[in-house]
Amino acid sequence: MKKEEILKAYADELERIGKSENTAKSYLHNISMFLTWLEDTSGESFSGSLTPVEVKAYRSYIDTVQKASLSTINTKLAAIQNFCNFLHVVYGNELIKVEKKKGKVSPKVEVLNKQDLFQFLKYTEGNANLLHRVIVQTILNTGMRESEVIDLELSDIVNLDSTKNTYIIIRSGKGDKYREVPISGEYKALLREWIAHRPVSDSQKVFIGNRGTLTANGIYKLIHRLGSQKGLNVYPHMLRHQYLTNLAKKCDNLQDIKSLQEIAGHSSVETTMRFYVSSSEESKKKLTSEINYFE
C-alpha cells in the first residue's frame, strides 16, 4: 500500500475517534515529516511497516541533529506513538512503545507589560471596528483559543440580556473539553452591542464578517496587525496568557487553582500550575531557611 493511501486512512481514523481538527493536522504533519525522513534515510518507499529501530533512530535524529526543544521532541513522539497504534490495529504491524524524552522545561508564557497593554488597547479602542474590538476583548475576558472563538455560536452565550449570571459555554475546547466561563461588566455590554449589530446571516456563529465566518488564521492576522500599528508583536495566544496570568495572581489556594484550570480548559491542574503558578528563588529560600523540626 502506498504512503498516501495509508496517510488518508490515518486521517480518516483520527476523524472517526474524534480528534480535534488542530490535533489531527499536527499529527499528520509530524507523521509526514517522519515518513519523509524514513524514506530518505532508507532509500525505500514506506509501505505500512515500522520497526522500533526506525523509531529510535528518528528520535535520535530530531534530538541530536535537529536539536529540537524538549516539548517539540515529545510532541513529535506523541504523534508517532499514535500512528504506531494505528498501524498495529489496522494493519497488524508490531506494537511499538515510543519512549518520550525525559526532562522538565518551564513553558514560555509571553504577556504584554502594563504600558504595552495600555497602548495596544488604546489603539484598538480608537481605530478598530466593532468586530475586531469584540474579538480582542473576548479573548482578554475569557481566555478562549482562536479555534474556540470561531466555533462560538449564539446559543453558547447564556443570559446575555439578563441581570442574571452571564456565561459563555465552550463546547469543544482543546481535547474536546466542555467548560463555562462567566462574563460581566464592560465586556458583557460590548458583546451585547456586537450581537445587536451583527450582520444578518444563516450562520449561528457569533463572530462573522461581511464575507462570512472567520478563520483562526484570520483572527491571528487581525490581532497581529493591530499590535504592529504600535510596534508590538501581539497574537491571540498572548492575549489568552494575559487573561489567565491575571487570574493566577488572584489564586490563594489549591481550590482557586482548580477553578483556574477549569476556566483555562486544561486537562490537569498540573498543566495550569506549570504555565501560570511558578516558584521563585525567593520563595524557595523562604521555605528552606532555618529548618526546625521541633517547632
Partners of 103 in the beta sheet? none
What pTM was computed for the model?
Answer: 0.65
Mean pLDDT of the chain: 88
Residue 111 main-chain phi, psi, to 5 deg: -135, 165
Asked whether the predicted pLDDT for residue 208 surpasses 80, the reply is yes
Residue 280 has pLDDT above 70, yes or no: no
**For position 120, what pLDDT does the model report?**
97
**Contacts of 98 by beta carbon, 8 Å cutoff, 6+ apart:** 55, 59, 77, 78, 80, 81, 84
Partners of 183 in beta bridges: 166
Winning range, highest mean pLDDT, from 181-190, 245-254, 267-276: 181-190
Residue 289 pLDDT level (bands cut at 50, 70, 90): low
Taken in order of first residue, the domains within the chain and their CATH numbers are 3-91 (1.10.150.130), 114-276 (1.10.443.10)
Tell me which amino acid residue 5 is.
Answer: E
Rounded to an integer, the average pLDDT of 229-244 is: 94
**How much of the chain, in percent, has pLDDT values that exceed 90?**
63
3 state SS for the chain: CCHHHHHHHHHHHHHHCCCCHHHHHHHHHHHHHHHHHHHHHHCCCCCCCCCHHHHHHHHHHHHHHCCCCHHHHHHHHHHHHHHHHHHHHHHCCCCCCCCCCCCCCCCCCCCCCHHHHHHHHHHHHHHCCHHHHHHHHHHHHHCCCHHHHHHCEHHHEECCCCCCCEEEEECCCHHHCCEEEEECHHHHHHHHHHHHHCCCCCCCECCEECCEECCHHHHHHHHHHHHHCCCCCCCHHHHHHHHHHHHHCCCCCHHHHHHHHHHHCCCCHHHHHHHHCCCCHHHHHHHHCCCCCCC
Measure the CA–CA gap between 112 and 117, rounded to whole angstroms: 5
Predicted pLDDT of residue 56: 95
What is the pLDDT, as a whole number, of residue 292?
Answer: 56
pLDDT attached to residue 194: 96
Separation between Cα atoms, residue 104 and residue 215, nearest integer Å: 34
Is the pLDDT at 222 greater than 80, yes or no? yes
Lowest mean pLDDT among 46-50, 148-152, 263-267: 263-267
CA distance 87 to 17: 15
| Mean pLDDT of the 130-142 span | 96
Q: Specify the higher pLDDT residue, 115 or 18.
A: 115
pLDDT class of 81 with cuts at 50, 70, 90: very high
Residue 173: what pLDDT?
67
Overall average pLDDT of the 83-94 stretch = 93
Say yes or no to pLDDT of 291 above 60: no
| pLDDT of 185 strictly over 80 | yes
Give one DSSP letter per residue of 17-28, joined into a string. Answer: TT--HHHHHHHH
| Angle between helical axes of 216-228 and 114-127 (0-180°, round to 10) | 110
What residues does 170 pair with on adjacent strands?
Answer: 179
Asked if the model's pLDDT at residue 286 lies above 60, the reply is no
Asked if residue 284 has pLDDT above 50, the reply is no
- How does residue 71 score in pLDDT terms, banded at 50, 70 and 90? confident
What local confidence, expressed as pLDDT, does residue 274 receive?
Answer: 79
pLDDT over 90 (residue 40): yes
User: What pLDDT sits at residue 211?
Assistant: 84
The 8-class DSSP code of residue 167 comes to E
CB count within 10 Å of CB 203 equals: 13
Percent of the residues in the chain that have a pLDDT greater than 70, as a whole number: 92
> Residue range 88-96: average pLDDT?
92
Spatial contact of 236 and 225, defined as CB atoms under 8 Å apart: no
pLDDT in the model for residue 18: 85
Stretch 132-153: mean pLDDT, rounded?
94
Name residue 139's amino acid. Answer: I
